[in-house]
Amino acid sequence: MDLHVIGPLASPAERAAVDAVLGPPESGWVGGPRRPGVDGHAARGGHAIRSRRSQLLPALHAVQDRVGWISQPALNYISRRLAVPPAEAYGVATFYALFATKPRPPVMAHVCDDIACRVAGAEDTCAALERAIGPEGVAGANGSTGWMRSPCLGLCDRAPAALVTTAGEDGRVASAAPVDAAGVLARLDGGGAPRPPQRIPQQGDPSLRLLRRVGVIDPTSLDDYRAHGGYTALARAIQIGGESVIAEVTASKLMGRGGAAFPTGRKWAAVAAQPAQPHYLVCNADESEPGTFKDRVILEGDPFAIVEAMTIAAVATGASVGFLYIRGEYPEAEAAVRGAVASARAASLLGPDILGSGIAFDIEVRRGAGAYICGEETALFESIEGKRGEPRNKPPFPVEVGLFGKPTVVNNVETLLNIPLILEMGGEAYAGIGTDGSTGPRLFCLSGHVARPGVYEVEFGATLGDLIELAGGVPSGRAIRAILLGGAAGVFVGPDAIAMPLTFEATRAAGATLGSGVIMVFDETVDLVGTLRRIAQFFRDESCGQCVPCRVGSVRQEELLTRLAAGSRVRSRDEELTLLREIGQAMRDASICGLGQTASSAIESALRQPGLVAL
């Protein structure tokens, strides 16, 4: 039986979209071509097929961008082109929130209703859109526009935020913030001004090291980047060689800024020492932790710095291929970084012979598709490989068995931003910034009830109060009720914590976390119960579902909070709270990855504080 002729065929538009990514098919079979080693069954399971599968997300994106949703015939066509079993392709397409496998209006507003946008009136926006267009996810009267809720879009400094996707031959994605219902409706009609270029509150401050170029240089210009000190660090890295680069990074005592605070020098040395080849390098720009937007600001404002830093990391670790995995909700940052990669390649700063050194390294930009879990490093590998973003068991660790089973170094965007600085000033001098246990400058994302939300750079050691003061304090002189540190996976602290230094060691000692640098301030007007329920919903929606404690626990946690909030108790309040704590404990102890292990921490931390939450 020839499976290729069953069912309706993909439309010309769907096929054209896929072919634009995978290359034109050869002629000769119904529904699309067989390509030796690509479309043919003979090669299934071979290396060509495995590497081809990693084109699955780009192919799905192509159809989604062109048509607005991914039909079964389109999915079948992609499956055949990539020799991926249709059931697996379906499993992947349905995993990611930005892909639709049922008809979706071609013009869609994804409206953030997450914690910072709630504070800024997102619920009013959603209610107004429901009145104007109709229920969430359904096409309005014109048949071509719709709206749906979204988790944090990484624009919390400009809340409330939305993302508008417009399907078509030149499928477009654009973010808008701050934006109200009228602004969303205007964008759905094709109007509305584009989001202005990124500015930072500290712009022009001569003490800035990491953010010194953001808002100052033209992010599309390699010449401007070079005129502001760019690419001197790479030249030095090539001159001193990989081992010495690792020695400098180790001397700097740089710890990863992606949340796990792992020493970068040690990670790089472990990958460099691996005999297996090739070595891969991944820049983790998935940044989906609610309240986090620093990586977006860096990538939009200083994209060459990350391209240069990745190239230095490649020199150090012997990686020949790099992937920059960026969340699908960051269209402007993605465009900036794609432009920077192309310009660097044209100037031989990427490619087969970087700066005449004989070193070969190139970067491929990969777009995520709406899945917070893909920020977890092994889920991210799975996603690049064309699979559902389900974390792997560790060990083996990525430094030994990572992307495509090869030694892989993964670093966060902010971690990488420190690398040129370390090479410019020397590892030891860098280690003199900050404290003994937390060296260097650090970025924090201030949002919520502060006068000047944004990304702030300070030296490690600044206190929570210093940061809130930098951001102008709480508007209208209202009192602080609670501060969320580290994002939805972090903890709430009270106003009594403002003297706490924001270092790895001080926050650890206080039972808190820096996480991805989130400082979200809530004044006395906040609906904290609603905020906790939104956090619980977030984890329920984002659990990959692979392990029982997290899959079931995150659902039960959300149900319990909803019950407690509604007062409809099937048990006494104390029994419900005990059950909530037990669910949290089970998720912490028995979940495979950090998502399940931290899914209850913010909620429990808020409930621990006497009188903070009225449940």
What is the contact surface with ligand FMN in residues (CB under 6 A)?
256-260, 262, 284, 286-289, 373, 375-377, 410-412, 415, 593-595
CB of 162 to ligand FES, least distance (A): 9
* 489 touching ligand SF4, by CB under 6 A: no
CA distances from 440 to 214, 245, 260, 263 (A): 18, 17, 16, 13
Q: Are 519 and 473 in contact (CB under 8 A)?
A: no
In the set 56, 593, 602, 606, which binds ligand SF4 (CB under 6 A)? 593
CB of 372 to ligand FMN, least distance (A): 6
Binding residues vs ligand FES (CB under 6 A): 112, 114-117, 152-156, 159, 161, 290
Which residues between 363 and 392 bind ligand SF4 (CB under 6 A)?
373, 391
Place of tokens 């504070």: 119
Question: Based on CB atoms, which residue is closest to ligand FES, 361 or 538?
Answer: 538
Q: Are 471 and 202 in contact (CB under 8 A)?
A: no
* 595 touching ligand SF4, by CB under 6 A: yes
Half-sphere exposure at residue 273, Cβ-oriented, CA atoms within 13 angstroms:
9
| The residue type at 513 | T
Question: Based on CB atoms, which residue is closest to ligand FES, 290 or 328?
Answer: 290
CB of 327 to ligand FMN, least distance (A): 8
- Which three-class secondary structure state does DSSP give residue 110? strand
Question: Based on CB atoms, which residue is closest to ligand FES, 289 or 457?
Answer: 289
For residues 132 to 151, the per-residue mask of contacts with ligand SF4, x marking binding by CB under 6 A and - elsewhere, is --------------------
Q: Are 306 and 324 in contact (CB under 8 A)?
A: yes
Residue 57, contacted partner among ligand FMN, ligand SF4, ligand FES, none, CB below 5-8 A by kind? none
CB of 566 to ligand FMN, least distance (A): 29
CB of 615 to ligand FES, least distance (A): 23
Task: Record the tokens describing residue 138, joined without a space.
Answer: 């359904």
Question: Based on CB atoms, which residue is closest to ligand SF4, 349 or 586?
Answer: 586
Question: Based on CB atoms, which residue is closest to ligand FES, 155 or 409?
Answer: 155
Task: Record the tokens describing residue 435, joined without a space.
Answer: 């404290």
CB of 537 to ligand FMN, least distance (A): 16
Binding residue count for ligand SF4, defined by CB under 6 A: 14
Residue 84, contacted partner among ligand FMN, ligand SF4, ligand FES, none, CB below 5-8 A by kind? none
CA distances from 146 to 94, 124, 134, 153, 190 (A): 20, 17, 8, 18, 13
Contacts 24+ apart (CB under 8 A), 376-382: 376/593, 376/594, 376/595, 377/282, 377/284, 377/402, 377/410, 378/402, 378/593, 379/544, 379/593, 380/282, 380/284, 380/286, 380/325, 380/410, 381/282, 381/408
Question: Based on CB atoms, which residue is closest to ligand FMN, 69 or 504?
Answer: 504
Q: Are 487 and 522 in contact (CB under 8 A)?
A: no
* 596 touching ligand SF4, by CB under 6 A: yes
Residue 345, contacted partner among ligand FES, ligand SF4, ligand FMN, none, CB below 5-8 A by kind? none
Which residues between 54 and 73 bind ligand SF4 (CB under 6 A)?
none
Helix, strand, coil in percent for the chain, rounding step 5: 45, 15, 40
CB of 377 to ligand FMN, least distance (A): 4
Among residues 134, 88, 81, which one has the least CA distance to residue 109? 134
Q: Are 219 and 301 in contact (CB under 8 A)?
A: yes
In the set 443, 462, 502, 550, which binds ligand SF4 (CB under 6 A)? 550
Residue 116, contacted partner among ligand FES, ligand SF4, ligand FMN, none, CB below 5-8 A by kind? ligand FES
* 583 touching ligand SF4, by CB under 6 A: no
Place of tokens 């417009």: 166
Place of tokens 């029994």: 575
CB of 531 to ligand FES, least distance (A): 11
* 536 touching ligand SF4, by CB under 6 A: no
Q: Are 556 and 548 in contact (CB under 8 A)?
A: no
Outline where 120-199 has alpha helix (H).
122-132, 181-188
Spatial separation of the C-alpha atoms in residues 220 and 227, rounded to whole Å: 13
Kindly report the number of other CB atoms within 10 A of residue 186's CB atom.
16
Residue 591, contacted partner among ligand SF4, ligand FMN, ligand FES, none, CB below 5-8 A by kind? ligand SF4
CB of 317 to ligand FMN, least distance (A): 13
Question: Based on CB atoms, which residue is closest to ligand SF4, 107 or 488?
Answer: 488
Question: Based on CB atoms, which residue is closest to ligand FMN, 262 or 578?
Answer: 262
Residue 596, contacted partner among ligand FES, ligand FMN, ligand SF4, none, CB below 5-8 A by kind? ligand SF4
Within 8 A by CB and 6+ apart from 379, the residues are 371, 373, 389, 390, 391, 392, 544, 593
Question: Based on CB atoms, which residue is closest to ligand SF4, 89 or 593?
Answer: 593
* 592 touching ligand SF4, by CB under 6 A: yes
Chain contacts with ligand SF4 (rule: CB under 6 A): 373, 391, 543-547, 550-551, 591-593, 595-596
